[in-house]
Amino acid sequence: MMSNFGQRPQFKLIIQLFYEGKTELDYLQKFISQQHKNAVVKLNKIKNNQNPRILAQEAINQCDDLKMDHSEVWVAFDDDGRDAEVKEAIDLINKSGKDIHIAFMKPCIEIWPLMHNGIDNVTKQATAQSKLESIMPYYKHDRNPYFELNKMPDYEGAVTKAKQWQTSLSGAPEYDSTKFAGIYKLTEKIKSI
């Protein structure tokens, strides 16, 4: 009789994640669990840094070493009013020729749960955070930056709106938008597994 002791699970997707902050990481971990994908999707926390340019460069530098069967390298970050750093980060990744996926949010990650609640007209970080606190009373950007998934009721509506925003750019870079919700690309990938 063979033992399963010591065998590694065979994940269908391994996300090698370079991320900006606690909110992105926490949301993705909760989303994977909510979708019942813990047995098939593994989230590897590779690098955390608030500067998108540094994240992009680290992802480019480590990309080849992180590639393995069923793995993808992702960089998740917000605009947060850092237009020059964001432009440089996205351009660095796109020009690198590396297979690196971008989950970019503008003005900030807080727009994503707002979109789940039909709020899609926010273009300022402070406004997004304030509106989110009215929907999720426990959410506080500086003290408790964690989303309550049970207060994010309309995932499909959020994805539809995010795709519309991307289409409206007609191929222009994400940083040219006033609002962008590129995290949908990663969540849709997770859902498809």
Q: According to the model, what pLDDT value does residue 4 have?
A: 52
Q: According to the model, what pLDDT value does residue 10 have?
A: 86
Is 159 part of a structural domain of the chain? yes
Is 2 part of a structural domain of the chain? no
Is 4 part of a structural domain of the chain? no
Residues of the chain with pLDDT under 50: 1-3
Q: Which residues of 10-48 are buried (b: 16+ CB within 10 A; e: fewer)?
A: ebebbbbbbbbbebbbebbeebbeeeebeebbbbeebbe
Domain that holds residue 44: 13-192
Is 7 part of a structural domain of the chain? no
Domain count, the chain: 1
| Cβ-contact 93, 82 below 8 angstroms | no
Q: In terms of Cα–Cα distance, which of 182, 149, 158 is closest to 30?
A: 149
Is 8 part of a structural domain of the chain? no
Which pTM was predicted? 0.93
